Structure 1
Amino acid sequence: MVSEIRLFTEIAYLEKAQSYQSVLSLRGVEVKLVQIEKLNARFLRLNPEIALCVDENGLWLCANGMKMQPDWNAEIARLKRASIKSEMIARACNLAEKPKLIDATAGLGHDSLLMAHLGAEITLVERHPILFTLLEDSKTQAETDPFLSQIVARIHLVFSDSHAFLALQNQEQHHFDVVYLDPMFPQRDQNQQAIKKQAQVKKQMQLLHLLLPEDGEMDLGDHLLVLAQAIAKRVVVKRPRLAVFLNNQQPDHQWQGDACRFDAYFN
């Protein structure tokens, strides 16, 4: 996990950058604030190492000439097209019943945003301090958008290790309708070439792969399935279409798509 990182910003956004620096410091990340003359594409190309940057649109992750943030505003067009009937994830997670749901592998939060739009009340759990701060910033910005504000009101961010969080829910006898798992790195799966090709489609995911090392156990997900089954009526696992089952455990039902599938485990 990244414990030290540079944060680039222009003088106009220096105060905002200092605020992010303080927040990340409290979450265990040492941030070196670097004021630059112009944060543009040329600067990013000349500074390819993974870093953070701040501009008028908030906090970004950057590397290899690219910038990435969980851009929930960019999802609005998809949300407006989405319905319970049209979205496979809605059927898998039984969103017609407006479930109380945990997304234990937050990622960029796009699936949680969609599920909240379709009626779910979601607790979104993320343990990586930088990714959590990016998600928090996106949620704050979404709260100012007339369309998104009502949706993100149903999303609750929790800065925690998912394993510890699920174990605590079980210990305190808290129960949920659905736990949703989307492990980022199914590197031990079969059909490696097909899976790797799918994983590199989006530039956003390439940057996340730099931030979250592939050997990080937090991204494998096997250990989460049993914990999730202890507290939820239904556990839904998103997998690449050709991947092996999570924890080598046969699901009770599947929904198959062209690129991915949803494996469901019922209690």
Structure 2
Amino acid sequence: MVSEIRLFAEDTYLEKAQSYQAVLSSRGVDVKLDVIDKLNARFLRLNPDLGLCVDQDGLWLSANGMKMQPDWKAETARLKRASLKSEMIARACNLAEKPKLIDATAGLGHDSLLMAHLGGHVTLIERHPILFTLLEDSKQQAASDPFLAKVMQRIDLVFSDSAEYLQQQIEQKTLVDVVYLDPMFPQRDQNQQAIKKQAQVKKQMQLLHLLLPEDGEMDLGDYLLVLAQQISKRVVVKRPRHAVFLNAQQPDHQWQGDACRFDAYFPKMLIE
């Protein structure tokens, strides 16, 4: 896991950058703050290593000439088009019932944002201090947006390892309606052939993969399914359409889309 990183900011945003530096330091990240003349495309190209940037739009992740942030405000157009009938994730997670839901693989939080917009009360779990801080910053900015403010009231962020958090809920005998899992690096398909990647991975995912490298520290989420089934009435796993089942476990129900599917598990011991 990244334990140190450079933080770039123009002098205008120095105070804001120092605030981010303090927050990240409190979460175990050694942050070197660099005040620069101009944070522009040329500067980013000349500084290709993974770093953070601060500007009028808040905190960004940067590398290879690109910038990325969760940017929940940019999802507004998608949210306005969404409905309980049109979104497969809404049916999979039974959002019409306004469930209490845990997203144990937060990522950029876009699925959780959609689920909260459609009525869910979502707790996002993220263990990486930099990604958690990016999510926290996006939530704070979204809370000032008239359209998103009420949605933010249905989203809680928790800085924790997902396995530890779920284990804690088991020990406390907590029961939630849904646990949602979307492992970032899916397993190979049924024929053991690597799942084909798009010719050009989206900018957001390119930078997220640099922050959360596939080799070494990322997991496939198999054990999260086992833990989730002990505290949830329904576990929903988002998978590429042809990926193998999580933990090699046949789901109780599926919703199939063109590119992905949602596998649902209904723990028997919680139903009986």
Provide TM-score, normalisation by structure 2: 0.95
Percent identical residues = 79
Alpha-carbon contact 1:191-1:243 (below 8 Å) kept = no
Superposition deviation, residue 191 in structure 1: 3.6
Q: Which amino acid aligns with 1:166?
A: L
Alpha-carbon contact 1:191-1:242 (below 8 Å) kept = no
Superposition deviation, residue 220 in structure 1: 1.5
Q: Which amino acid aligns with 1:18?
A: Q
Q: Does 1:47 align with 2:47?
A: yes
Q: Which amino acid aligns with 2:177?
A: D
Mapped partners of 2:244, 2:203: distance in 1: 25
Q: Which amino acid aligns with 1:135?
A: L
Mapped partners of 1:11, 1:260: distance in 2: 44
Query: Over aligned residue pairs, what C-alpha RMSD do you find?
Result: 1.2
Provide closer, same or farther for how the CA distance between residues 218 and 161 of structure 1 changes in structure 2, counting only shifts above 3 A.
Answer: farther
Alpha-carbon contact 2:106-2:126 (below 8 Å) kept = yes
- Answer 1 or 2: which has greater helix percent: 1
Superposition deviation, residue 187 in structure 1: 4.5
Q: Secondary structure at the match of 1:192?
A: coil
Name the structure 2 match of 1:96: 96
Alpha-carbon contact 2:99-2:120 (below 8 Å) kept = yes
Mapped partners of 2:113, 2:8: distance in 1: 28
Task: Give CA-to-partner distance per residue, 1:164-206, whole Å, 9 cap, x none.
Answer: 0000000000000000000001154444142x228x5311011
Q: Which amino acid aligns with 1:73?
A: K
Q: Does 1:122 align with 2:118?
A: no
Name the structure 1 match of 2:194: 192
Mapped partners of 1:92, 1:2: distance in 2: 34
Name the structure 2 match of 1:139: 139
Superposition deviation, residue 219 in structure 1: 3.7
Q: Which runs of 5+ in 2 are unaligned?
A: 268-272
Superposition deviation, residue 90 in structure 1: 0.3
Superposition deviation, residue 216 in structure 1: 4.2
Name the structure 2 match of 1:27: 27
Mapped partners of 2:188, 2:216: distance in 1: 13
- How many positions carry a matched residue from both structures? 265
Name the structure 2 match of 1:167: 167
Mapped partners of 1:218, 1:234: distance in 2: 24
Q: Does 1:151 align with 2:151?
A: yes
Mapped partners of 2:153, 2:94: distance in 1: 20
Q: How does 1:244-259 map to 2 (within 5 A)?
A: 244-259=244-259
Name the structure 1 match of 2:228: 228
Alpha-carbon contact 2:175-2:231 (below 8 Å) kept = yes
Q: Secondary structure at the match of 2:198?
A: helix
Task: Give CA-to-partner distance per residue, 1:46-103, whole Å, 9 cap, x none.
Answer: 1110000000000000001110000111100010110000000000000011000000
Q: Which amino acid aligns with 1:77?
A: A
Q: Which runs of 5+ in 1 are unaligned?
A: none
Superposition deviation, residue 223 in structure 1: 1.0
Mapped partners of 2:159, 2:203: distance in 1: 25
Alpha-carbon contact 1:241-1:257 (below 8 Å) kept = yes
Q: Secondary structure at the match of 1:230?
A: coil
Alpha-carbon contact 2:51-2:63 (below 8 Å) kept = yes
Task: Give CA-to-partner distance per residue, 1:129-155, whole Å, 9 cap, x none.
Answer: 000000000000001000000001100
Mapped partners of 2:164, 2:215: distance in 1: 19
Task: Give CA-to-partner distance per residue, 1:1-41, whole Å, 9 cap, x none.
Answer: 00000001100000100000000000000000011100001
Q: Does 1:83 align with 2:83?
A: yes
Q: Which amino acid aligns with 2:194?
A: Q
Mapped partners of 2:220, 2:195: distance in 1: 18
Mapped partners of 1:169, 1:211: distance in 2: 28
Provide TM-score, normalisation by structure 1: 0.97
